[in-house]
Chains A and B, each alone.
Chain A
């Protein structure tokens, strides 16, 4: 990585101060600026010490009509991890992903992807939206959908060419449905539709994947195939942040978890954080007081 941070070649203290002083300007950041290095020193090998985290979210708050959906969310994901995001309905999981990608305005907070703002590292991020978020009766076939992952590469106003179609076909082969490339998307089963979405993210060859419930309502074979693929991606050094709904399989599938219910209840290694107590905090205790306060504020606003 020819990173802008200077890397291992220039370890002079004055230079290291550069990025640190920048983050210090954000409140409460002076102590935090030390922690990623110490964290990675524990868990990572020496050569990755200077790698920025794949994703760092700090102080992120998103509100719809002044009702906060996620509140002061803060976590960081080292590179090469398979991370599950778990939380009840309405906990703001999809909102978190969308806010990371600047798809919805955020009330406050900062997101860094490989040490840079999202707009600069967009190329390295692959997004798998929720399957239900699109109209599957749309007049395109599976190959067309996968090719959409390459549109940025193809460029504005330029047509899709043979090599792009070949790359898309290869991505479809990786998810195991190359034979369905020319099938209209409404004729695909739920699992096959999900695989198509996954192939669309894969074809970009990104380094960080953000996936919104890729395992929701898919058949067992698809679930196994997707997990196999994710493990392969991890071997290749990719990072994935995956919203997941099935608590039982979390310890089998993910190294890291983020427990989310409007705010981050806990985050870290699955074996340390994924405990009954934390789960109860995530699913049981709602933030009743915060809820009530914001609801009252909204009611007053309606009346004005």
Chain B
């Protein structure tokens, strides 16, 4: 076994080398092209296209065999696959144009009908031919073992063609995916650009048939691109990442299936690629789960800190001359559990917002904390005033509404609030607590 591994990793075996290189180039092209189809929201068209290739493969085999040639020669089969795949796409367009059936249903119909016809034709192939038809099924689930050097070369050239097309049309495709109607208004032929994009999808699908199989080739178009999206907001970076994800997924998948006989390579490739997706989903820098969890945690902590500072400020405001507050008072003021309050206090004092008088276990604001608390209270009350005077919210409800929104207010909005409320408020003055004011009015 270890010897087998070693032969594989060192690429000593000519056949392994061919397979690994071929699939790696395939993964590269699929990742790249997949980004554009994903952003254009056309991912599933690739799936219908792939399924629609099966009858073409069977018919090409029957035809060439009947003409006395080698039915299993790859180029003939791929030409058949291409034609039948394009017929599938045309059928989708016709169904959509000629009836009120929506795109998703049209995709479903074409996908299943063509695949069904293909399976039926494969049955015919097996009955009529004299045994050398074995292997055509490998197009369904993929079988890299049948790949020879000329196949890998074909994949290489086709992938290079796709990459060059994507590179040349990078800005046009970007515009098409982002804003179709603007592209049209500038005179770009949107239909032709879409057809060009579709054409490279066809190419990737066809060269992927042998290695990944027509059922699973869609995974190569979607998963690397979707994984890359978790890491970046920059389209060129996304293209590079998706290509790398596609390439490594294919490399490991092909290697895995070479190690385990009888394991369809398509399945292995999809599994390794989706492992990359799982990792991206968890730890992608941009929108990975971990990052979002961390951001939520940070936001929660910052809201807690703001509430604490505001509470302290208002307690001192109510009784001038006081400089420190006990924990019991704070516990009564907010619905914090004592352990949570202790944690909030610990963080605030660590960050220098408050100081702790240990002997009395009382808390006071530092100078910096005082300034920050003043800013927060002012922002909170401005927002409350806005809600009362301009959004017709009753004073009793205001605190909760203000709490929900004010944490996301940026400096720009606060400035706008100030201009709006200038009439009701001296410029630098701290607005009065609306609850206190409402309470007083009630007594009077």
Residues in chain A within 8 A of chain B (CB atoms):
98, 101-103, 119, 122, 125, 127, 129, 133-135, 138-141, 144-145, 148, 151-152, 154, 156-157, 159-160, 184, 186, 200, 210, 219-221, 302
Interface code B209-240, partner A: CB below 8 Å = 1, 0 otherwise? Answer: 00000000000000000000100111100100
Determine how close the nearest CB of chain A comes to the CB of B42; give it in whole angstroms.
Answer: 13
- On whether the beta carbons of A129 and B186 are closer than 8 Å, the reply is no
A219's partner among B181, B185, B416 (CB-CB below 8 A) is B416
7 A-B pairs with the lowest CB-CB distances in the bound complex, closest first: A127-B185, A184-B233, A157-B168, A101-B185, A103-B184, A139-B235, A134-B179
Q: A151-B171, A152-B188, A302-B100 are in contact. List 11 more A-B contacts (CB 8 A).
A: A102-B184, A129-B181, A138-B177, A139-B229, A139-B234, A139-B235, A144-B174, A152-B187, A157-B168, A159-B171, A184-B233
A239 vs B12: C-alpha distance in the bound complex, in angstroms? 70
By the criterion CB–CB under 8 Å, are B232 and A139 in contact? yes
User: Chain B residues with Cβ under 8 A from A145's Cβ?
Assistant: 178
Given contacts A119-B187, A157-B168, contact A148 B182 (CB under 8 A): yes
Q: How far is the CA of A102 from the CA of B181 in the complex (A)?
A: 10
**Which residue of chain B has the shortest Cβ distance to A148 in the bound complex?**
B175
Interface pair A156/B172, CB less than 8 Å apart: yes
Q: Mark B162-178, 1 if CB is under 8 A from A, else 0.
A: 00000011011011011
Question: Please, could you name 5 A-B residue pairs with CB atoms under 8 Å apart, sorted by A?
Answer: A98-B181, A127-B185, A138-B39, A152-B186, A221-B412
Q: How far is it, in angstroms, between the C-alpha of A154 and the C-alpha of B169 when the chains are bound?
A: 12
Give every chain A residue within 8 A of B178 (Cβ-Cβ).
134-135, 138, 140, 145, 148
Within 8 A of A (CB), among B413-427: 416
Are B181 and A133 interface neighbours, CB within 8 A?
A: yes
Cβ contacts under 8 Å, A139 to chain B: 39, 229, 232-235, 238
In the complex, chain B residues whose CB is within 8 Å of the CB of A125: 185
Residues from chain A with Cβ under 8 Å of B182 in the complex: 127, 129, 148, 200
CA separation between A207 and B229, bound complex, in Å? Answer: 38
Q: In angstroms, how far is the closest chain A Cβ from the Cβ of B54? A: 33
Determine the distance from Cα of A102 to Cα of B172 in the docked complex, in whole angstroms. 19
What residues of A have a CB within 8 angstroms of the CB of B233 in the complex?
Answer: 139, 141, 184, 186
| Contact A160-B232, Cβ < 8 Å, known A138-B178, A139-B238 | no
Give CA–CA (A184, B172) in the complex, Å. Answer: 20
Query: Which residues on B sit within 8 Å (CB–CB) of A200?
Result: 182
A156 and B178 alpha carbons, distance in the complex (Å): 17
Complex CA–CA separation, A160 to B235 (angstroms):
14
Residues on A with beta carbons closer than 8 Å to the beta carbon of B100 = 302
Q: Are A154 and B171 in contact (CB under 8 A)?
A: yes
Q: How far is the CA of A301 from the CA of B188 in the complex (A)?
A: 34
Q: How far is the CB of A258 from the nearest CB of chain B, in Å?
A: 19
Whether B39 lies near A122 (C-beta < 8 A) is: no
Smallest Cβ distance from A243 to chain B, in angstroms? 14
User: Which of B168, B174, B177, B416 makes the CB contact (< 8 A) with A221?
Assistant: B416
Classify the secondary structure of A's interface with B: mixed
What chain A residues lie within 8 Å of B238 (beta carbons)? Answer: 139
Interface residues of B in 348-382 (CB under 8 A from A): none
What is the interface residue range for chain B against chain A?
A: 20 to 34
Q: Is the CB of B184 within 8 A of A101?
A: yes
B10 to chain A minimum Cβ distance, whole angstroms, is: 38
The complex places the Cα of A154 from the Cα of B174 at a distance, in Å, of: 14
Q: Which residues of A contact B39 (CB under 8 A)?
A: 138-139
| Cα A220 to Cα B420 with chains together (Å) | 10
Q: Would you give the shortest CB distance from A120 to chain B, in whole angstroms?
A: 10
Verify A220–B416 contact, CB threshold 8 A.
yes
Residues on A with beta carbons closer than 8 Å to the beta carbon of B416: 219-221
Cβ-defined partner of A103 (8 Å) among B177, B185, B232, B412: B185
- Bound complex: CA A134 to CA B174 (Å): 13
Known: A101-B184, A129-B179, A152-B186. Contact between A140 and B171, CB under 8 A? no
- Complexed CA–CA distance, A141 and B412 (Å): 21
The listed residue with most A CB atoms (<10 A of its CB), out of B168, B179, B188, is B179
**Residues in A neighbouring B187, C-beta threshold 8 A:** 119, 122, 152
For the complex, give the distance between the alpha carbons of A219 and B184 in Å: 29
Chain A residues with CB under 8 A of B184: 101-103
- Tell me the nearest residue of chain B to A212, going by C-beta: B181
Contacts of A160 in B (CB 8 A): 171
Q: Are A151 and B185 in contact (CB under 8 A)?
A: no
- Beyond A138-B39, A139-B235, A159-B171, whether A122 also contacts B179 by CB under 8 A is no
Q: Which residues of B contact A152 (CB under 8 A)?
A: 186-188
Q: Which of B171, B177, B187, B188 has the most CB of A within 10 A?
A: B171
Assess whether A140 is in contact with B169, with CB atoms less than 8 Å apart.
no
The chain B residue sitting closest to A219, CB to CB, is B416
List the A side residues contacting B235 at CB < 8 Å: 139-140, 144
Q: Considering the chains assembled together, what is the distance between the CA atoms of A127 and B186 in angstroms?
A: 8
| Residue among A134, A139, A154, A221 facing the most chain B CB atoms (10 A cut-off) | A139
Q: Nearest chain B CB to A301's CB is how many angstroms away?
A: 11
Contact of B186 among A135, A144, A151 (CB under 8 A): A151
For the complex, give the distance between the alpha carbons of A18 and B390 in Å.
Answer: 61
Neighbouring B residues of A156 by C-beta, 8 Å: 172
Q: Least Cβ distance of A103 to chain B in Å?
A: 5
CB-CB under 8 A from A219, the residues of chain B are: 416
Chain A's closest residue to B174 (CB) is: A140
Chain B hits for A102, CB < 8 A: 184
Across-interface contacts of A135 in B (CB, < 8 A): 178
Name the A residues within 8 Å of B186 (CB-CB). Answer: 122, 127, 151-152
| Min C-beta distance of A211 to chain B, whole Å | 12
Q: Taking the nearest CB of chain B, how far is it from the CB of A178, in angstroms? A: 15
Residues of B within 8 A of A186 (CB): 233
**Contact (A148, B179) CB under 8 Å given A157-B168, A159-B171:** yes
Across the interface, B179 reaches (CB within 8 A) one of A98, A133, A184, namely A133
B residues in contact with A138, CB < 8 Å: 39, 177-178
A172 to B14, CA, bound (A): 56
Measured between beta carbons, the chain A residues less than 8 angstroms from B185 are 101, 103, 122, 125, 127, 129, 210
